[in-house]
Amino acid sequence: MATIAIYQNCYVPEQFAKIDNNFLIYDGTHNTPALYEMGAILDLFQTGKFEHAEYVGVVSPKFEQKTNITCRAFKDFILQDPGFDVYFVNPFPQKAYYHFNVWEQGELYHPGICSLTQELFDAVGYKINLSKIGRMTTQSLLYCNYWVGNKKFWNEYMKFILPLFEFITKQCSAEKRNLYFCRTNHYRPTPMFPFVFERMFSTFLSIYPDIKAKFFFHSRDNIKKCCEFELEWNLFQQIHMMIDEWDTEANYSMERRTVFKALGQTIHDYGALYFKNNNPAY
């Protein structure tokens, strides 16, 4: 039976007492807040803690609230289907049905994220064209860093991530660096940085097919719980069979791409009004 270590990032002292016993506590109080879970991921890698178990990951304090599953359930999911390099659970499974991939979704919610990230890829010499990144289905789609990987995954993923992080924090100009840490659209003040890096997981899987990844399958009931407002759930019920069929066919014509854009725009525009009316600080 594989050994699994899932840390939960505690970045304020009062979070320590609220941690589920199935998680390990990660003391994130010393990390730069603007790095979010990336600070913890880098620390686990650089200190070698990612090798302290066969599968290691670190999640945010909102893991159970966002995914509607427990840490124990996540561990059981890993143990029940051994042999993969990385296991992940997407807290927003419904978004696979409204957006073609994480970058089209990102540009809607965080305008400028694609050009900023493309410049980043170009700067470190990665031959990745975001305008040509393909479809991301439930099998590769992840928002938030809710993944647990083995040594192979950690080494390969960090080899991909570290040059990007190093460029932002040590090599680019202060003016350019500020673009990653200025506030973007969100329900609370949040820099662009975490939204760039949470999209790297799905991007990495799309260009490294030798990595064996296993996604957590959400039941319909759980998808309903993950929806942020009623329209998301109602729309999902109407379109999910059609989108699943498209994904089975792997045929994404211009007409179908236009449908994705229309669906995404509808959810975005309604969501903006919903959160503004329910959260004046949004």
pLDDT, tens digit, 9 for 90 and up, residues 20-35 = 889 999 999 998 888 8
Would you state the pLDDT for residue 278?
A: 78
> Both tokens of residue 186?
């969100």
What pTM does this model have?
Answer: 0.94
Q: What is the mean pLDDT of residues 191-198?
A: 94
CA distance linking residue 264 with residue 109, whole number of Å: 10
Q: According to DSSP H, which parts of the chain are helical?
A: 37-46, 63-67, 71-80, 102-109, 113-124, 151-166, 174-181, 193-197, 200-207, 220-226, 230-249, 254-278
Please state, in angstroms and as integers, the Cα–Cα distance from residue 95 to each residue in 30, 120, 174, 245, 265, following that order.
33, 25, 34, 16, 12
Output phi, psi for 4, to 5 deg: -130, 130
Q: What is the mean pLDDT of the chain?
A: 94
> Both tokens of residue 173?
């100009």
Q: How many CB atoms lie within 10 A of CB 61?
A: 17
Q: What is the mean pLDDT of residues 158-173?
A: 96
CB 91 within 8 A of CB 124: no
Q: What is the mean pLDDT of residues 5-24?
A: 90
Q: What is the mean pLDDT of residues 48-71?
A: 96
- Shortest CA distance to 152 belongs to which of 24, 56, 37? 56
CA distance linking residue 65 with residue 182, whole number of Å: 27
Is the per-residue pLDDT at 14 higher than 90?
A: no
Q: How many CB atoms lie within 10 A of CB 164?
A: 18
Is the per-residue pLDDT at 151 higher than 90?
A: yes
Give percent of the chain above pLDDT 70.
97
> Both tokens of residue 123?
């700067």
> Both tokens of residue 126?
């990665």
Would you state the pLDDT for residue 282?
A: 45
Q: What is the mean pLDDT of residues 79-96?
A: 97
Q: What is the mean pLDDT of residues 148-173?
A: 97
E strand or H helix at 4, and its extent? strand 4-10
CB 201 within 8 A of CB 142: yes
Pairing relationship of beta strands 24-27 and 55-59 according to DSSP bridges? unpaired
CA distance linking residue 10 with residue 27, whole number of Å: 5
- Shortest CA distance to 58 belongs to which of 141, 143, 146? 146
Rounded to the nearest angstrom, the gap between the alpha carbon of residue 201 and the centroid of all alpha carbons in its chain is 7
Would you state the pLDDT for residue 185?
A: 66
CA distance linking residue 16 with residue 10, whole number of Å: 6
Is the per-residue pLDDT at 188 higher than 70?
A: no
Would you state the pLDDT for residue 32?
A: 87
